[in-house]
Amino acid sequence: MGKHSRAVDPAQLTDLLRLEPGHGVDLLSTSTGATPGISGGKSAARELQADLAPRLADLQERLYAVGRSGGRQRVLVVLQGMDTSGKGGVSRHVLGQVDPQGVTIAGFGAPTEEERAHDFLWRIEAKLPRPGQIGVFDRSHYEDIVAVRVHELLPPAVWEARYDRINEWEAGLVADGVLLVKVFLHISRETSKKRLLARLDDPTKFWKYNPGDVDDRAKWPAFQQAYQDVLERCGTDAAPWYLVPADHKWYRDFAVTSLLVELLEAQHLEWPGADFDVEAEKARLLAAE
């Protein structure tokens, strides 16, 4: 597939995938197999992603340099989605395109006893990326609404109060220099079943399979409702949600790469200047042994 198949400039992916804050979201009627911005299928997406990879690596290095030079900027990619929606795949195939020195990945499972004894944001705060880093959350504080609600772990009044708490907390992060990139990976119930079955057909993938995943699938509609409410109520101008149709892995990886490139380019990250006399340092170095 040649370059002419590119129907849309990748710099438009943020516009195509952003859920407009304040608008309703209807997950049931939102396609999981669509490929907004790509008309040429897998080969076109792979080709575009290959073009984007060095741009993303350059942007990540600039961010890292800024962080090393006293800047506060950092990125937090929040990945949410049903089991098998590809949160790990994004970590591997999108973040794997940049220098691992600039990436920190944190996963959030069921909270431990110690974590439950604290406010729900305590363990989240502890994993926030340092300046200059791209942090990735594989699941996040949103589980403290979604999973808690679906599994009825706490009274509704508790998780109901968390929408506003999260919005306020995220606004504080953004004010402190965090570029928040919240991504919902949207897959169909059929795709989920296929991917779980594939794990059962391959002994090198048994370790990824958890019988509890099937129990969660039984509650698919309740999870979709819970995610929908989170997408509606926690999408803000400062920290909007991006909905990525994720039935096609090649689209998912292209789309998240493209989102990151566009959002980082909009930060206008400049290489830090020298805080020393360059010519004097050259002379000193040349005079040394």
Check residue 271 for interaction with its own copies (CB under 8 A).
yes
Give me the phi and psi of 265, to 5 degrees please. Answer: -65, -35
Binding mask 136-175 for its own copies (x = CB under 8 A): --x-------------------------------------
Q: How far is the CB of 238 from its own copies (least distance, A)?
A: 27
Q: How far is the CB of 86 from its own copies (least distance, A)?
A: 13
Q: Which is nearer to its own copies, 157 or 218 (CB)?
A: 218
Q: Which is nearer to its own copies, 103 or 264 (CB)?
A: 103
Check residue 113 for interaction with its own copies (CB under 8 A).
no
**CA 89 remoteness from chain centre:** 11
Please give the Cα distance from 131 to 105 (Å, whole number): 15
Strand blocks (E) in the chain? 74-81, 103-107, 134-138, 178-186, 241-245
Check residue 206 for interaction with its own copies (CB under 8 A).
yes
Are 138 and 91 a contacting pair, CB within 8 Å? yes
Are 133 and 91 a contacting pair, CB within 8 Å? no
Check residue 68 for interaction with its own copies (CB under 8 A).
yes
Check residue 100 for interaction with its own copies (CB under 8 A).
yes
Please give the Cα distance from 56 to 252 (Å, whole number): 16
Q: Which is nearer to its own copies, 3 or 193 (CB)?
A: 193
Check residue 72 for interaction with its own copies (CB under 8 A).
no
Check residue 22 for interaction with its own copies (CB under 8 A).
no
- Which residue in 223, 199, 224, 217 sits closest to 148, CA to CA? 223
Q: How far is the CB of 38 from its own copies (least distance, A)?
A: 25
Binding residues with its own copies: total (CB under 8 A): 45
Are 148 and 154 a contacting pair, CB within 8 Å? yes
The SS3 call for residue 21 is coil
Check residue 54 for interaction with its own copies (CB under 8 A).
no
Q: Which is nearer to its own copies, 138 or 232 (CB)?
A: 138
- Which residue in 111, 109, 106 sits closest to 136, CA to CA? 106
Q: How far is the CB of 94 from its own copies (least distance, A)?
A: 10
Please give the Cα distance from 229 to 51 (Å, whole number): 36
Check residue 103 for interaction with its own copies (CB under 8 A).
yes
Write out the binding residues for its own copies, residues 215-254 only, by CB under 8 A: 217-218, 220
Length of the chain measured in residues: 289
Q: Which is nearer to its own copies, 152 or 202 (CB)?
A: 202
Check residue 101 for interaction with its own copies (CB under 8 A).
yes
- Which residue in 212, 209, 241, 214 sits closest to 228, CA to CA? 241
Q: Which is nearer to its own copies, 157 or 278 (CB)?
A: 278
Are 187 and 247 a contacting pair, CB within 8 Å? yes
Amino acid (1-letter code) at residue 222: A
Binding region for its own copies (CB under 8 A): 65, 68-69, 88, 91-92, 95-96, 99-101, 103-105, 107, 138, 189, 193, 196-197, 200, 203-204, 206-209, 211, 214, 217-218, 220, 271-274, 276, 278, 281-282, 284-286, 288-289
